[in-house]
Amino acid sequence: MEKRAIKKVLGELPYTVELYWQLIQRHKPWQAHFNLDFLEAELAEAVAQVQPFVEDAPRGKRVFIFASLHYWIEYSTFLALALAGKGHQVTLSYLPYGSWDKPIEKFDLRGQNLYARQVLSQAASVIKIQPLLDIRPLSRNLPVELEAAVEEVSTFDTQYTLQVEDIDTSDPLYQLRYERNYEAALNGRAWLSAHKPDVVILPNGTIQEMGVLFRVAKHLKIPTVTFEFGDKREHIWLAQDAEIMRHETDSLWNTRGDQALDEAQLEQLHALFSARVDAKIWKHFTRKWQDTPTKGGAFVRKKLDLDDRPVILLATNVLGDSLTLDRQVFSKTMADWIEKSVRYFVDRKDVQLLIRVHPGEMLTHGTSMVDVVKAELEEIPEHIHLIEPDEKINTYDIMEIADLGMVYTTTVGLEMAMRGIPVIVAGQTHYRNRGFTHDPVTWEGFFDTLNDLLGDLDGAPLSQDQIELAWRYAYLFFFEFPKPFPWHLVDLKKDIKSRPLGFVLSEEGQQRYDQTFEYLTGTPLKW
């Protein structure tokens, strides 16, 4: 306790941390959770590989890259080096946090800042290092628009961390996130206003300090690119002047949506979805989408004791997942939509409702949709079946017997449409309004759509043209939306060894990835 009190005092005094670092800490092994060991070991060699390309490359854009948390800093450093090798004048900025949800003494934070700066100094010959913590804004006030943005991102951070939708702004976690996000907005705005780079590049762009910097850049009208990673190895997701996790596919769909798939494309898509159904990993994709192999619709009917009444599949998302943040269209929250939908079906004994709770909930700690349903229904009637996340039932076997689907944002809705099953989409998802789903915008419209479809289930299945649209969209989303890129965040250590910077900047590497690097620096995406 006494040591913590001393740290608290010293953390507020100028030069104390720097003096401690020079005299003591830099001579000791670094043992904090905020750890850049991999970057420290690889950086000198990476810079040596980049240096010749920097000297020969034509002058490019002024690029600002920002990251928080050690793993994003490591990834962004290699990205910054690659862009420098292509001639861009790159500034790499960072916040030296090891955790986004745990408090840290200012003394320790300043120490981590010095540690990161020391590690990154190895790259100072080819990129500029700008710790965001070192910037001193002239004012402690933000424009009203940015104050609202800080509140929004802090809400997302709290929802994401606690995996809840309704939050209390007095919660210590919200207060922590608000304080950090506010500081990031102040410092980021000060630097960006003064230097006005040609493009800002950010991981994610929705949550944490990266989400705040996205909104600051947008406020200052600076072109911004956000990036993230899906399940596909050696590929990256990109969005220009948008949050990548919103998966805005309008331009892709408007450009390619009217093009029929050829046999090779159909074969690819069939192979991918066969693997998804069978709980297998396929080619460049990194995970299984089911834990339980398919056993067929008859197995589900027997296991759940279903009769001949029509089957309605309601598929949930994981609460707090980035694909559910701020995705409401007409409901207050996803849980609100589930509660009202379940209540509607209590009196619809002419059908059987199967609520498939997302298997991903087994890996989370927040509010389960199981609890949401049970809180809404004191007793679950015989025609409503709650399939919990750990139940050994393959979701695709449920699709086999489903007459109607209901989803919030999960891709289960897209996959049901590919089977010709009519689907009502309640949340703001990337495949909404593409011509193969029902997309109400009000509660009245939602229940009217539900009543109409249930009133004529024989006439509800999708037309062949709509099914073809769903297949086209699925191909574009899974195979064209991700862009080729040498490194995946999850496999960074292995990828850097397999595809080092010297290879990425070589003629062969440029043939594979150069277009994606162009998109990262703001060249308009072409589909």
Lowest mean per-residue pLDDT among 76-85, 137-146, 158-167, 247-256: 158-167
Res 271: pLDDT: 87
Q: Which two tokens stand for residue 73?
A: 């800093």
* Sheet strands side by side (includes 89-95): 128-131, 89-95, 62-68, 199-203, 224-228, 235-240, 483-484
Separation between Cα atoms, residue 259 and residue 90, nearest integer Å: 39
Mean pLDDT of the chain: 91
β-strands 235-240, 224-228: how paired?
antiparallel
Buried b (16+ CB within 10 A) or exposed e, 247-286: bbbeebbeeebeeebeeebeebbeebbebbbeeeebeebe
Lowest mean per-residue pLDDT among 256-270, 278-292, 324-338, 451-465: 278-292
Separation between Cα atoms, residue 510 and residue 508, nearest integer Å: 5
CA angle 501, 131, 505 (to 5 degrees): 10
**C-alpha closest to that of 176 among 157, 203, 162:** 157
The tens digit of pLDDT for each residue in 108-126 reads 898 899 999 999 999 999 9
pLDDT for 227 beyond 90? yes
**Residues 72-88: what's their mean pLDDT?**
98
Whats the size of the chain, residue-wise? 527
Res 437: pLDDT: 98
The tens digit of pLDDT for each residue in 379-436 reads 999 999 999 998 989 899 999 999 999 999 999 999 999 999 999 999 999 999 999 9
Write down the residue that tokens 């297998």 correspond to.
280
pLDDT for 483 beyond 50? yes
pLDDT for 32 beyond 60? yes
3-state secondary structure 506-518: CHHHHHHHHHHHH
Instruction: State the fold for domain 2-251+494-520.
Output: Rossmann fold (3.40.50)
Collapsed DSSP state (helix, strand, coil) of residue 313: strand
Lowest mean per-residue pLDDT among 41-55, 163-177, 292-306: 292-306
pLDDT for 336 beyond 90? yes
The tens digit of pLDDT for each residue in 260-314 reads 999 999 999 988 888 777 654 434 444 434 456 788 999 999 999 999 999 999 9
| Contact call for residues 418 and 474 (beta carbons, < 8 A) | yes
Comma-separated ranges of CATH 3.40.50.12580 domains in the chain:
261-480
Res 276: pLDDT: 74
pLDDT for 197 beyond 70? yes
CA dist list (Å): 422 to 81, 338, 450: 48, 18, 11
Lowest mean per-residue pLDDT among 126-130, 188-192, 276-280, 370-374: 276-280
Res 520: pLDDT: 98
pLDDT for 342 beyond 60? yes
Architecture in CATH for domain 261-480: 3-Layer(aba) Sandwich (3.40)
Res 323: pLDDT: 76
pLDDT for 1 beyond 60? no
Contacts of 394 (CB under 8 A, 6+ apart): 277, 279, 290, 292, 293, 294, 295
